[in-house]
Structure 1
């Protein structure tokens, strides 16, 4: 706490947002004066928030009471001194501190996404390995809209005109929103977020922010904070930033591409390259693990009904776990690089995924491949979009069922987490099925 107290004093902080990530990546917690934060050295929250759905509902009672104390007790949340960030948009000097969740015996809560990522990172550490990741976040800017039944529209830029058509990598199209992005960059710098390049993506008013490579837990924290920051910067300029996987019909979906590599802890050298600088056996096994196990952890990468709309035909998303060199039609792309920076880019996660869970799941798949010496398929030459080998589940229901029956995933992620996660997603899916869509009203109302 001494480190936190010093930092808060130097920055004249008067208020603290104590936050944890729930299963959907939503920031939940308490807002407290600095004096109370220092006195209590953490916070207590109902452990039930870790089984709360995106709609605010909870799982069925039999699952709820099997995983949580029937008395709806509190969990103990301790601040991580390395996860404190300024909140530049607040009216008073305010910071947010990411907390870790423990039970009353001081043990990590299994349902906590941040704890799950730490659990996977420990698997690597036990082998003398350290993973390195670099996320790429895609998102859309849209007009503000109060009616969820209305389709989203592109916002008005500096020119006073609405963007039309697709403007991949257009500097001028990105500059239409310069005032917004200047605030975003300033706020990210104040928070110490390691963002790198901004590009205009393929979709209308679709953007991408790339993060510099680094420690997976630190990068997960930064993406968690960045999504809040981007939304706040957009609201300041009277537009909306959305990380939905497929927010606009007939436009590309938004991904969270994950570049991942592994180095030796002692030497810092990449274990993905051999002494001759070529692809190592560990690298090929890492890819083999991604190919074999991504279909079993897909709900961590595509957690919502909307996530699977990104995988529909002609949506520019690679719906496969093929791999290839510099091949963006593969779900697993190996960028051209020098031996020390050899990596694989997992192109399957959606921007809507909980970043802690997406990184944990992707790294776990690679780890299992390395430990079980799983050989990958042959790399793809040419287009992989039409490939049917190693096909992924194409609906959320099918993906949840596959994850539920995976003994390996239950063993490594823990039966409590798998059961709780699947239960939350099934409640959300049942809620979705209760909603009558505009398609049904348009084509069935007077026709059947």
Structure 2
């Protein structure tokens, strides 16, 4: 096994792409590939998409002929620092130009897909964001992940990940004052019992499932198995393992696909971490393994078929840096309702072999497939940032040769809570860590913290029904 190279020294900007002239060259090269694909598929309209800080799609609808003739596709950079409600923080102008300048968009032809639910032949393509100078825009969550992957490459390593995405189907709810409830299945009844891995429970939503798989196939999404999870009308899709950027793109597209499919069938699909009080939360588990670029071998597997020191270093990195990065795994005020004792989600930094109560699980597998599953991220997480944070933590563990705790025996949820219990607490831990600033751009970390603190303060101004019920006449 080759020895990993040292990480490059930290720079205040993301530096893996050349300047403006190279961006223009890339535009021309991409345009030729995109033009051919659009013409071959008789596309009349293009959705040019940019994942924002929440992981949702921003962008423009453009007629195909205009898309091909434009060399200056742009979006205002301010959209990258909007809160989930569309507001701006008081520190807004600390992160973008006061003139609200434009970002240059460069469509990535590898992300070209048809939009199977569109009326007209429509394509979708994910674009990378650049400053006018040609630098990758540091506020782009896709660029954050690309930067982490470039650090892996510089260290002679290549990451692979396999996401697992959970979500709920719910009855359409147009009044937020009413609690959510499961939709009626084909039997005309709602689920009320725990139906983990039930084939018949999945069959209740057979039409939805069939359309979802058809849409996924049309978009070349590498979805693998589907199961019914523990919650009422809660499903989970497992993806095959692959390149982290490609898998983040696929999760981004998949979440749009599931929402659109549910709407077709008179339901909502939600990726909230904890949408209902009496139901379990929804996760975005991330399985990850690391390969040596030189040998192509999994560095978590030794020549004797046993776990390696590198696996221990990687797990230790996850343990060390998760408390500071927890807001990337739990990015919303609702996220922390999932990370609670006595619920099937991690609450501390334990790890173990094939132990689903721990935060970091090493599943039972063949030696070549040895991997670590990070069970912290919620389904509401931005997949680019959740994957970037997990890989960055592991890389720092490898670099520092950190040592983990002993593998946990028994039920880890019986132990103490070791992570933040609110978005405010989580975000206040994000900044001030020089090691994290080495692998995740400092400007992005500060902007993310400002946006999330603003969301917390906005939520904190809402008076809940619990307060009215228990405090109105009692205090």
Q: Please confirm whether the aligned pair reaches a TM-score higher than 0.5, indicating the same fold.
A: yes
Distance in 1, matches of 2:154 and 2:284, equals: 28
> Match for residue 361 of structure 1?
389
Deviation, structure 1 residue 273: 1.0
> Match for residue 14 of structure 2?
none
> Match for residue 149 of structure 2?
121
Which one of the candidate residues 262, 266, 272 is aligned to 1:234? 262
Distance in 2, matches of 1:441 and 1:14, equals: 53
Deviation, structure 1 residue 233: 0.2
RMSD of the TM alignment (CA)?
A: 1.0
Which one of the candidate residues 420, 425, 430 is aligned to 2:452? 425
64-73 or 43-52, larger mean C-alpha shift: 64-73
> Match for residue 337 of structure 1?
365
Distance in 2, matches of 1:138 and 1:444, equals: 35
On the 8 A contact 2:286/2:373 being kept in 1, the answer is yes
Which one of the candidate residues 52, 70, 84 is aligned to 1:54? 84
Residue 463 (structure 2) pairs with residue 436 (structure 1): yes
Residue 202 (structure 2) pairs with residue 165 (structure 1): no
Distance in 1, matches of 2:81 and 2:42, equals: 36
On the 8 A contact 2:180/2:276 being kept in 1, the answer is yes
Residue 62 (structure 2) pairs with residue 32 (structure 1): yes
The within-5 A match list for 1:312-391 is 312-388=340-416, 391=418
Deviation, structure 1 residue 114: 0.1
On the 8 A contact 2:47/2:125 being kept in 1, the answer is yes
Deviation, structure 1 residue 59: 1.4
> Match for residue 214 of structure 1?
242
- Taking a change above 3 Å as real, the CA distance of residues 371 and 440 of structure 1, as seen in their structure-2 partners, is same
Distance in 2, matches of 1:233 and 1:421, equals: 31
On the 8 A contact 2:226/2:237 being kept in 1, the answer is yes
* Cα deviation digits, residues 390-436 of structure 1 (max 9, x gap): x1122211111111232222232122001100000011111101212
Residue 217 (structure 2) pairs with residue 189 (structure 1): yes
Residue 248 (structure 2) pairs with residue 248 (structure 1): no
Distance in 1, matches of 2:272 and 2:202, equals: 20
Q: TM-score, normalised by structure 2?
A: 0.92
> Match for residue 134 of structure 2?
106
> Match for residue 132 of structure 1?
160
On the 8 A contact 2:151/2:439 being kept in 1, the answer is no
Q: 1:385 aligns to what SS in structure 2?
A: helix
Deviation, structure 1 residue 42: 5.7
182-191 or 399-408, larger mean C-alpha shift: 399-408
* Cα deviation digits, residues 123-167 of structure 1 (max 9, x gap): 110111110000000000000010001100110000111111111
On the 8 A contact 2:48/2:61 being kept in 1, the answer is yes
Deviation, structure 1 residue 442: 2.1
Q: How many residues align?
A: 445
Residue 46 (structure 2) pairs with residue 19 (structure 1): no
* Cα deviation digits, residues 214-237 of structure 1 (max 9, x gap): 000000000000000000000000
Q: 1:422 aligns to what SS in structure 2?
A: helix
Residue 428 (structure 2) pairs with residue 398 (structure 1): no
Deviation, structure 1 residue 302: 0.4
Which one of the candidate residues 153, 157, 169 is aligned to 2:181? 153
Deviation, structure 1 residue 334: 0.3
Distance in 1, matches of 2:112 and 2:414, equals: 45
Deviation, structure 1 residue 22: 0.6
On the 8 A contact 2:431/2:445 being kept in 1, the answer is yes
> Match for residue 327 of structure 2?
299
Deviation, structure 1 residue 65: 2.0
